[in-house]
Amino acid sequence: MYYKVAPSLLAADFTRLGSQVQEVREAGAEYIHLDVMDGAFVPSISFGMPVLKSLRKASDIVFDVHMMVEEPGRYVEDIKKSGADIITVHAEACTHLDRVVNQIKETGCRAGVALNPATPVSVLDCILDQLDMVLIMTVNPGFGGQKFIPYTLNKVRALRQTVKERGLKTDIQVDGGVSIANVREILEAGANIFVAGSAVFGTDPAARTREFVELFKEYEK
Ligand code: DX5
Ligand code: ZN
């Protein structure tokens, strides 16, 4: 099993996005998590295609795009063209989830589906085998800096169990309130991709990234 930290750009200093991405990349982050919010699926509005496109020129880091957008299928093609490598959509935001997942795969991107805290993992029973990643939201989406919701760990455990039973290689990502203080517990529950916004960009992003990378080495041995 591999473990990766995906620093969330939402918590970065927006006056110098390119150098912030470079900083975490050089410290060992292979992914950057990019939160696209539409002000409809979630209350807030963040950034979209033009920002992704500019950043794409700054780094070869994996673009892990988390679309908090109603009916995201409308934008999948544009998000890919803006440089995405992984596109994650919310099950709750798609009337036709199967169609959107196929749209993502047709672009050549890896496909992820996100679940809000109150959405059970069983909604993915039929489509799990088609997915590269499942994102278990560990806060209600929309804002950085919120507190981790403990019961979501049970969802991580249940999903890891199902993934194992089916012999799949699905990545399990967690997002929201993840820090160096709780990452072991979440990892031991079965997650392997860890989004961290304020925990990385709050103070000294390079040092914080290295802490995650070093901790993961213990488990990869
Ligand atoms: C929240 C976003 C997260 C956010 C995480 O809706 O999806 O990616 O940036 O921020 P932290 O790690 O500060 O909770
Ligand atoms: Zn996110």
What is the C-alpha separation between 6 and 31, in angstroms, rounded? 5
Q: Among 38, 138, 175, 203, name the best residue to mutate to test ligand 1's pocket (greatest count of ligand atoms within 8 A of Cβ).
A: 175
Q: Is there an atom of ligand 1 within 6 Å of 145 CB?
A: yes
Annotated catalytic, 175?
Answer: yes
- Would you give the DSSP letter of residue 45? B
Average pLDDT, the chain: 98
Q: Do the beta carbons of residue 7 and residue 32 sit within 8 Å?
A: yes
CA of 88 to the centre of ligand 1 (A): 14
What is the C-alpha separation between 152 and 138, in angstroms, rounded? 6
Q: Do the beta carbons of residue 2 and residue 170 sit within 8 Å?
A: no
Q: Which ligand is nearest to the CA of 9?
A: 1
* Burial class of residue 102 (count of CB atoms within 10 Å of its CB; 0-12, 13-18, 19+): middle
CA of 220 to the centre of ligand 1 (A): 25
What is the C-alpha separation between 21 and 30, in angstroms, rounded? 10
Per-residue pLDDT of 74-132, as tens digits, reads 999 999 999 999 999 999 999 999 999 999 999 999 999 999 999 999 999 999 999 99
Given strand 171-175, what is the order of strands in its sheet? 4-7, 193-196, 171-175, 133-137, 110-115, 86-90, 62-68, 31-37
Instruction: Please identify, by atom number, the ligand 1 atom nearest to the C-alpha of residue 196.
Output: 12
Instruction: Please identify, by atom number, the ligand 1 atom nearest to the C-alpha of residue 178.
Output: 12
pLDDT for 194 equals 99
pLDDT for 103 equals 98
Instruction: Give pTM, 2 decimals.
Output: 0.98
Mean local confidence (pLDDT), 199-210:
98
Per-residue pLDDT of 141-193, as tens digits, reads 999 999 999 999 999 999 999 999 999 999 999 999 999 999 999 999 999 99
C-beta atoms surrounding 56 within 10 Å: 15
What is the C-alpha separation between 216 and 155, in angstroms, rounded? 21
What is the C-alpha separation between 212 and 196, in angstroms, rounded? 10
Q: Among 139, 147, 179, 203, name the best residue to mutate to test ligand 1's pocket (greatest count of ligand atoms within 8 A of Cβ).
A: 139
Q: Do the beta carbons of residue 4 and residue 200 sit within 8 Å?
A: no
Instruction: Please identify, by atom number, the ligand 1 atom nearest to the C-alpha of residue 198.
Output: 13
Per-residue pLDDT of 126-150, as tens digits, reads 999 999 999 999 999 999 999 999 9
pLDDT for 221 equals 78
> Residue 109: which residues within 8 A CB-CB, separation 6 or more?
80, 84, 85, 86, 87
Q: Among 137, 152, 182, 198, name the best residue to mutate to test ligand 1's pocket (greatest count of ligand atoms within 8 A of Cβ).
A: 198
